[in-house]
Amino acid sequence: MAVTIRDVAKAAKVSPSTVSRVISDSPQISEATKKKVYKTMKELNYEPNIIARSLANNSTKILGLILPNAENDLFENPFFMQAMRGISVYAQKRGYYIMYAFSKTEDEELKFLEHYIRSKLVDGTILLTSRQNDRCISYLKTTDHPFVLIGRPEQPNGMLWVDNDNFQAMYNVVDYLIRKGHKAIAFIGGPTNLYVTRDRLDGYKKALRTHAIPENSKMIKFTDQFLRECGYKAMMDILSYKTPSAVVTTDDLLAFGVVDAMKEKDVKNIAVVGFNNTYLSGYQNPSLTSVDINAQELGMHAAKLLIDKLENKDMPTTHYIVDTSLVERDSTM
């Protein structure tokens, strides 16, 4: 027979209603009583009924996470895995569960959000992309549904968000390459409607201007997705015009494709830098220099902001800027 609230109450010598209040973390119950009840629950191996608890508290203790790619493509970009780990680890510590949704388009993301909110499946939502004219953000604002964004929002006031300083991170990369003697530096970025692409492009351009190096539009390419084959195609286009001395990309997978193109064309001595410092970077040939954006920390801060909001905690800040660092490897030696 399954252990019930009454069994816990009897063993702890309290009323069933007290056990129920302890489970819902009621401030009316003393810490001493809470410790006694939790100890008894553990001894009896009692697990509260999540559905019943959510009905009583009008809270599911579940966070929705919208992933901007199909489930079978998830392992293509380790950034999402690292961010998900940070979210999951922190949420678990605070007693929350994660409900994942995979979407290939913005339309699909919007449908999932509408379903989450109408059905009251989740208490709050985490978005992993920041786009120009983002319809998902606009919808969430109109519904007053708690959410947090990993990425710089178009209008940050009043929003919860977490990001790196992507402008400064790319500026530092290009400045580093120029100081190593590179002048013909190409740029390969992802979709232009993403703020991460725009911010890193601006950092690239600013570094060139600072060192009085003319900008060349033919050395700047964009891709529809952060995939290896997209980086390959972009690099082949650049090589058909000119052989650069260095290439900066906004994602490690794009950088992997750059190296593939170089090998096919038998082109050597081009420095290559990626972003995200995914675990595959150190195993490439040559190993890839990359910017570590601390994706797991981004995820943890995002979960913290959202849960603090849901639990009405004092919030000294509504956003976090997570530090980045350049990890030098063979591709820039």
Q: Residues 205-227: pLDDT tens digits? A: 999 999 999 999 999 999 998 99
pLDDT at position 51 over 60: no
Spell out the residues 6+ positions from residue 258 whose beta carbon is closer than 8 angstroms to its own: 188, 231, 232, 234, 235, 247, 249, 272
Spatial distance between the Cα atoms of 260 and 232, rounded to a whole number of angstroms: 6
Q: Residue 319: CA atoms inside 13 Å, Cβ hemisphere, count?
A: 17
Mean pLDDT score, 102-131: 89
For 201, list phi and psi in degrees, rounded to 5. Answer: -65, -45
Report H helices in 272-316: 295-310
What does the angle CA 12 – CA 13 – CA 17 come to, to the nearest 5 degrees?
A: 90
Residue 258 has pLDDT above 90, yes or no: yes
| Calpha distance 204→185 (Å, rounded) | 9
The answer to whether the CB of 312 falls within 8 A of the CB of 153 is no
Q: If you count them, how many residues does the chain have?
A: 333
Element (H, E) at 292: strand 289-292
Q: Tell me, what's the pLDDT at 76?
A: 66
Predicted confidence band of residue 56 (pLDDT cuts 50, 70, 90): low
Of 2-11, 182-191, 197-206, the range with the lowest mean pLDDT is 2-11
pLDDT given at position 119: 82
What is the per-residue pLDDT for 71? 47
Cβ–Cβ < 8 Å for 114, 135: no
What value does the mean pLDDT take over residues 228-255? 97
Q: Report the relative pairing of strands 97-102 and 62-67 from DSSP bridges.
A: parallel
Residue 50: its pLDDT value, please?
61
The partner residues of 198 in beta bridges, in order of sequence, read none
Among candidates 103, 190, 208, 110, which has minimal Cα distance to 151? Answer: 190
pLDDT of residue 69: 67
pLDDT at 53 over 80: no
What was the pLDDT predicted at 59?
A: 78
Between residues 176 and 100, the one the model is more confident about: 176
More confident residue, 275 or 54: 275
Angle between helices 228-241 and 252-264 (to 10 degrees): 50
- Band the pLDDT of 67: cuts 50, 70, 90: confident
Strand arrangement of the beta sheet that strand 185-189 belongs to:
220-222, 185-189, 246-249, 271-275, 289-292, 325-327
Helices 31-43 and 16-23, packing angle to 10 deg: 100
- As a whole number, the mean pLDDT across the chain is 91
pLDDT of residue 274: 98
- For the chain, first and last CA: distance in Å? 66
Instruction: Identify the band that residue 73 occupies on the pLDDT scale cut at 50, 70 and 90.
Output: low
What does the buried/exposed string (b/e) look like for 118-131 if buried means 16 or more CB atoms within 10 Å of the residue's CB?
A: eeebbbbbbbbbbb
The answer on pLDDT for 244 being more than 90 is yes
pLDDT of residue 241: 97
How far is 249 from 269, CA to CA, in rounded Å?
Answer: 17
The more confident residue out of 117 and 290 is 290
What pTM was computed for the model? 0.83
